[in-house]
Amino acid sequence: MILGFAKRWSVTSYVVAAILTLPLVAIVIQTAAPDESIFPHLLNTVLPTYVLNTLLLMLSVCFWATAIAIPAAWLVARCDFPGRRVFQWALLLPLAMPAYVVAYVYTDLLDYAGPIQRGLRHLFNWQSPQDYFFPDIRTLAGASVILALVLFPYIYLLARTAFLEQSSSLQHAARVMGCGPWRSFWRLSLPMARPALAVGAALVAMETVADFATVSYFSVPTLTTAVYDTWLEYGSLSAAAKLSAIMLFVVFGIIGIERFARRRQKLFQKHTELNDGDRYTLSKTQGYLALGYCFGLLLLAFLLPFMILMGYGWQYFEVSWNGNFLNYAVNSLYIAVLVSIITVCIAVLLMFVRRCSPRKADKLPSRFASTGYALPGTVLAIGVLVPLTYLDFVINDIYAYFDALGPGLILSGSIFVLLFGFSVRFVAIAIGSVETSYKRMSPTLDMAAMTMGLKPKILLWRVHLPLLRKGIFAGLLLVFIESMKELPAALLLRPVGFENLATYVYQFVSDEQLEHGALAAIVIVLVGLIPLIYLNRSLEHRS
């Protein structure tokens, strides 16, 4: 777009992307090592089922999450009904809940020995599972519904922002032409929100593929399960790396198909805000239906699991209370704040270069940088440790060369490794958010700026950043919340003596004693809530 875009911008973006891709490269290199024919063995036995499970799970989670998120986002953004103001932020609350906690609560609640089935048996005097039918929660279907409940806010958030940012003049035009709410939704809002929905669905798909703790509660083995098995039980990192490579292909395939499908679709809007008067007023019945829908969703995805958590916390208060929470919470906060700032800065840089550079090849860095998200946290951790420990050895060898005592593992044994690992994993979220905002920004803006002789740096500061404000905020806060909850990478990468809320809770969850870690889990949720509410306010703020 910009003629004469200085080379150093491209170089910087390539360097940043290369650093972020290091873990992936480390893993790919591992695939070259011999794997003692574990791979053919898996192929002949369990792998086909795992692959099928992965694909089915990913598709059904995306389907359910989109299906429940779109109506909620549309209602909240474009209609007026009782409670709308509360729901517009409350529906983000499920984001604050770690998926494995929700999975724990629901499997506990709904399986054969759980209180619901026990109650039913007691009530109807059923004696054995043969006496009645109850859907089995620990199935692929069960897992996809629960995961969709946990993950739908990604799509909800991006879709709502898209609906809110859709120009009201377009909507006015549609109304003048006689479009009712339904038609304007199907023909205008939905197609225009498609980039946002696609980004949201891609995030959901990647979360699903990378998930391990949740599917293992549901006893639904997926490719991630296979990665763990081959790595930990067969002791073959190279076979595990090969499986990770397959997973990446799956994810890239899906993202690629989606991008191909809308390659000619470009949606630019002037940045106009929605006024309250632009919302559709629903009839009384419609209003209550809308209220019922949003409340039901909130109840299932957040209120119920949270109340159960509070119950555990109350019941087991004596055993689980210790004064370390504050300490763990500060650690969690510290990492989450830094990681969200780092990832958003990277996202803005990469997307800016992608948008403005005249060179085609400059579109690549942002794509490569996003790959870390699809890696299961444990695999990613290995990928992160390989290059960092290598560097540590180089540093220590240099010290040794000068007969000095080396600093030890200053990269892989300090907080740096956590920051790096988390950034690799979550930069995709930041890129996604910034990208959605960019997509709605017309290139004519850049052209106008250029005709006025603005340098790229000024263009970024004075024109783009103010317009990207919402995307940046959304990115910051999503990454923040994810970092608060992230577990597998934290477990493996955290330096000695560093404990945060997620790793602390996991000690108990891993032994299926969430009850004892419930208080810490509540703190994770509460700490996540504040930024969520703030996120919403910033999105709401009309200025």
Partner 1 sequence: MKFVKSLAFLGLACFATVVSAAETLTVYSYRQAFLIEPILADFTKETGVKVDVVFSKNGIAERLAREGRLSPADLILTSDFSRLMELVDKELVQPVNSKTLSDNIPHALRSPQDDWYALTKRVRNIYSSKDRIGPIAIDYEELADPKFKGKICTRSGKHPYNISLVASMIAHHGEQETKIWLEGVKANLARKPQGNDRAQVKAVKEGLCDIAIGNSYYLGKMLQDPNQVSWAEAVNINFPNQENRGSHINVSGMALAKHSPHKENAIKLMEYLSSDAAQKAYAEVNMEYPVKLNVAPSKLVASWGEFKADELPIYKLAEYHKVAVKLLDEVKFDL
Query: Where along the sequence are the contacts to partner 1 (CB under 8 A)?
Result: 41-42, 45-46, 49, 111-113, 118, 127-129, 138, 216, 219, 221, 228-229, 231-235, 237, 315, 338, 378, 381-382, 385-386, 389, 392-393, 396, 406-410, 412-416, 491-492, 494-498, 503, 507-508, 510-512, 515-516
Considering beta carbons, is residue 417 or 428 the nearer one to partner 1? 417
Q: Which candidate, 369, 509, 510, places its Cα nearest to that of 429?
A: 369
| DSSP state letter for 406 | -
- Residue 291 CB neighbours (<10 A): 18
The set of residues, in sequence order, having a beta carbon less than 8 Å from that of 27 and lying 6+ positions away, is: 241, 244, 245, 375, 379, 382, 383
Cα angle, residue 342 at apex, residues 462 and 465 outer, rounded to 5°:
15
Q: How far is CA 375 from CA 212, 245, 424, in A?
A: 11, 9, 10
d(CA 159, CA 194): 8
Quick one: tokens of 366? 């942002």
Quick one: tokens of 220? 């639904």
CB of 137 to partner 1, least distance (A): 10
d(CA 84, CA 77): 9
Strands (E) across 366-426 are located at none
- Residue with token string 């050895």: 393
Sequence letter at residue 403: D
Considering beta carbons, is residue 113 or 176 the nearer one to partner 1? 113
484 contacts 429 by C-beta, under 8 angstroms = no
Q: 79 forms bridges with which residues in the sheet?
A: 280
CA dihedral (204, 334, 338, 399) positive or negative:
negative
d(CA 25, CA 383): 8
Q: What interhelical angle do 99-110 and 514-540 show, nearest 10?
A: 130
374: helix, strand or coil: helix
- Residue with token string 């208080």: 519
d(CA 413, CA 492): 11
| DSSP state letter for 230 | I
CB of 290 to partner 1, least distance (A): 38
